[in-house]
Structure 1
């Protein structure tokens, strides 16, 4: 069964998933945030998912970030829609910066690095890979 990671944002949501053996994390898709629950409903119908990781935004001092209420509202909606799906909140503080650096390191041109959807998807992948390496 797979583990799914969600980097939920005000506009876009990056999603990453493991393989069935939970060894490799791969970016899956970036979707408009307002479609997240609908997209997940369809995905869960077609794929076996054991757990969902949701990025928890924090500031450097460990206080909740300004996007925390948006994430909290999404989590409530998620729990109401998928009451039997286990979730884990994971620190996502550096994932966007790491995603951007990953894009630079892999030789993507400046125009490609400005693709915020790709940044979100890579951030979700980094979050998931970090979780797998600590598991």
Structure 2
């Protein structure tokens, strides 16, 4: 049995300097989006839920919807529901017109609120959105 100490070593020819360069590590694939930080929920707490547009007659921070306006909105809702059952295309057209009018009036109301010093937190509470969403949606119009 021959020990490793007695083996003959092969002579290695000197390598070219370019061949001795360290090869770069392969790059990781880039992600389309960075990882999202998740909010931790407090143990024992139910998740916070926002109701869609809240209740029409519910009070809003800084003001209350007048009763006559709330009644008009409720009557319009009932009429559109009845129209959708009897004449669906007419209901679609009516709902589209109401939406267009509502969007324009909402923008006007938010602009007036900002000019009168309302905070984005109060506006977001009134619209049922987050503060950031309200700012992104309504701040495009010059005040």
**TM-score per shorter chain, which class?**
under 0.3
Task: Give the alignment's TM-score, normalised by structure 2.
Answer: 0.25
Q: Between Structure 1 and Structure 2, whose CA radius of gyration is higher? A: 2
Task: Give the alignment's TM-score, normalised by structure 1.
Answer: 0.26
Structure (1 or 2) with the greater strand fraction:
1
